Amino acid sequence: MHEYSIVQSLLNQIEDVAEENKATKVTKIITKIGVMSGVEPHLLEIAFNTFKEKTICDGAEFVMKIQPITIRCNGCQKESELDEVHYCCPVCESVDVEVIDGEDMFLMSLEME
């Protein structure tokens, strides 16, 4: 389960940001997880809850915002969100599309004290 290594990297990133801002506690973490990121949100939450104890994130709320796939059609130039993994423009039905969101995981914001 690679979610454990993702959480360890996330906790390291959070600790760095908290140190830069002279924070002693993180109370809320907001992440954005693309549906095509390869991250299983349920497993990520379990891993986070397992590893956050005795860190600056102990007791913090963990919010995951799931990002659908967003594409831009190279034919008609329209942007669309896809409900399923089907790389086809819903406007003109072209398969000449570019994925512009939904493949990554990001730390979006922190609330700190």
37-84 per-position pLDDT tens digit: 999 999 999 999 999 999 999 999 999 999 999 999 999 999 999 977
Mean pLDDT on 89-108: 95
Tell which residue, 32, 72, 88, has the closest CA to residue 80.
Answer: 72
- Read off the pLDDT band of 2 (50, 70, 90): confident
Task: Enumerate residues 6+ apart whose C-beta is below 8 A from 25.
Answer: 56, 59, 60, 112, 113
pTM of the prediction? 0.84
pLDDT of 1 above 60: no
Q: With beta carbons less than 8 A apart as the criterion, state whether 35 and 69 touch.
A: yes
3-112, what's its fold?
Answer: hypothetical protein PF0899 fold (3.30.2320)
